[in-house]
Amino acid sequence: MVVEESVPRLRITEIFYSLQGESRSVGWPTVFIRLTGCPLRCGYCDTTYAFQGGDWMSLDQIIEQTSQYQSRYVTVTGGEPLAQKPCLELLSQLCDKGYKVSLETSGALDISSVDSRVVIVMDLKTPSSGEESKNRYDNIEHLKQKDQLKFVIGDQADYDWAVAKLEEFNLTQRCEVLFSPVQDQLSPTALADWILRDHLPVRMQVQLHKLLWGNEAGH
């Protein structure tokens, strides 16, 4: 009797086409593949609808739907994409197809097996997120120059904590560092003033998609 090998599948919340709202590729038309599920519950999360539900899709189905948008850029996001193991294979297959692929991850799960061609955009969770204890600091060793490390800043205490982490792990020498204010919680102007005051070698970013389409825009 021949036993068929199981086909890798992922639970997908949505696949959509928009402008990248964050990170180094901000502004580029991008296909977003949003995976379902996340082990974290950050207080500022704007994609809670991705915690559950979604539809099972094979990798071939995902890639076929992605190709319909004719975009060079693909972002795999969540939820937390790495919570589903076949995500690693999806990332590699997207790279094989010639896409410029980025992965948005919380930093709570191991990134060491992510395809080296993928640009990793990884969070370090600040205290106000409520999930600081989930930070996996050994992930920092796996970040490359092309990757990006993101701090989402909710208040002065978060900012001070992030500045301390910059020094503790020599982060700006490892990869590009992004500071972003929590929407409707910290004034972007205040964060910009702090960065300039302290001469931080970090990139300040705001969420372009929310400026264009409002707070309900996931990207």
- Tally of CA atoms within 13 A in the half-sphere of 28 that contains its CB: 18
158 close to 164: Cβ distance less than 8 angstroms? no
Do the beta carbons of residue 131 and residue 158 sit within 8 Å?
no
Q: Where are the alpha helices (DSSP H) in the chain?
A: 59-67, 87-96, 156-168, 188-197, 208-213
3-state secondary structure 89-129: HHHHHHHHCCCEEEEEECCCCCCCCCCCCCEEEEECCCHHH
Which distant-in-sequence residues (6+ apart) come within 8 Å of 199 by Cβ?
none
Domain regions of the chain by residue span: 9-213
CATH architecture of 9-213: Alpha-Beta Barrel (3.20)
Cβ(172)–Cβ(188) below 8 Å: no
Q: For the sheet containing 119-123, what is the strand order?
A: 55-58, 9-19, 29-35, 73-77, 100-105, 119-123, 148-153, 176-181, 203-204
Predicted confidence pLDDT, tens digits, the chain (219 residues): 444 458 899 999 999 999 988 888 888 999 999 999 999 999 999 889 999 999 999 999 999 999 999 999 999 999 999 999 999 999 999 999 999 999 999 999 999 999 999 999 999 999 999 999 999 999 999 999 999 999 999 999 999 999 999 999 999 999 999 999 998 899 999 999 999 999 999 999 987 877 787 765 555
- For residue 100, the cross-strand partners are 73
Q: Note the pLDDT tens digit of each residue in 26-54.
A: 889 999 999 999 999 999 998 899 999 99
Asked whether 23 and 209 are in contact (CB, 8 A), the reply is: no
Pairing of strands 55-58, 9-19: antiparallel
Peptide bond into 79 cis (omega under 30): yes
Q: How far apart are CA 31 and CA 205, in angstroms?
A: 20
Residue 169 contacts by C-beta under 8 Å, 6 or more apart in sequence?
137, 140
